[in-house]
């Protein structure tokens, strides 16, 4: 039996989706949330980025061209990066526990989580998701993936700005110091 890295990448994303859906059952009630316009902007940008990555925009265009040779070795490396990103995102999701939400919110009994992956990045779920996306994009090697990646980054920056605002309001004593000590997405850099 031959390992198919493309199928395996799909299974990684399906498993991640299942974990996220199951996790919905264990979230705390929401007290406050981001504004509807910022939520809609985030959703719209995420959808456009995802559709670009999946190839639903501009089929047959220059975006379908490859930036790297589509080989078994490249696809396997892409798979490994996808797995690493998914595992990091799951670790962060499990560490966050009932505080998690798909949109920027403050939950009842919200805690400022600074342990585990949150000691490395303030938004480690996004770090993991971006790493997983980078692996998937590498495996497929098309320019549309890179274009979609940057749109997803933009979407996450919109969401991060809303989350940061809510955390500063909710934890005015502790969050500024945490923000100073821990980078948003890439440990030590960004």
Q: Which of 41-45, 58-62, 77-81, 168-172 has the lowest mean pLDDT?
A: 58-62
Residue ranges of domains in the chain, CATH in brackets: 30-169 (1.20.120.1630)
Q: Between 102 and 190, where is the model more confident?
A: 102
Strands (E) across the chain are located at 30-33, 105-107
Round to whole Å and give the CA distance between 23 and 116. Answer: 18
Round to whole Å and give the CA distance between 11 and 18. Answer: 10
On the CB side of 143, CA atoms within 13 Å amount to 10
142 bridge partner residues: 66
What is the rounded average pLDDT for all residues in the chain?
94
User: Would you state the pLDDT for residue 58?
Assistant: 74
Structure confidence by residue, pLDDT tens digits, 19-52: 999 999 999 999 999 889 989 999 999 999 999 9
30 bridge partner residues: 107
Rounded-to-10 torsion of CA 137, 143, 145, 148: 150
User: Would you state the pLDDT for residue 35?
Assistant: 87
């Amino acid at each position: 039996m031959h390992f198919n890295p493309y199928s395996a990448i799909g299974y990684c994303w399906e498993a991640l989706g299942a974990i996220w859906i199951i996790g919905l059952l264990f979230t705390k009630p929401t007290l406050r949330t981001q504004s509807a316009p910022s939520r809609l902007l985030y959703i719209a940008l995420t959808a456009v980025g995802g559709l670009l990555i999946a190839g639903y925009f501009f089929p047959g265009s220059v975006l379908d061209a490859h930036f790297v040779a589509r080989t078994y070795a490249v696809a396997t490396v892409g798979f490994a990066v996808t797995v690493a990103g998914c595992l990091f995102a799951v670790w962060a999701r499990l560490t966050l526990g009932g505080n998690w939400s798909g949109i920027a919110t403050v939950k009842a009994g919200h805690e400022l989580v600074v342990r585990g992956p949150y000691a490395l990045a303030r938004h480690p779920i996004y770090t993991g998701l971006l790493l997983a996306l980078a692996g998937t994009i590498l495996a497929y090697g098309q320019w549309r993936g890179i274009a979609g990646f940057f749109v997803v980054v933009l979407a996450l920056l919109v969401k991060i700005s809303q989350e940061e605002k809510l955390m500063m309001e909710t934890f005015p004593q502790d969050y500024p110091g945490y923000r100073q000590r821990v980078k948003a997405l890439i440990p030590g850099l960004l």
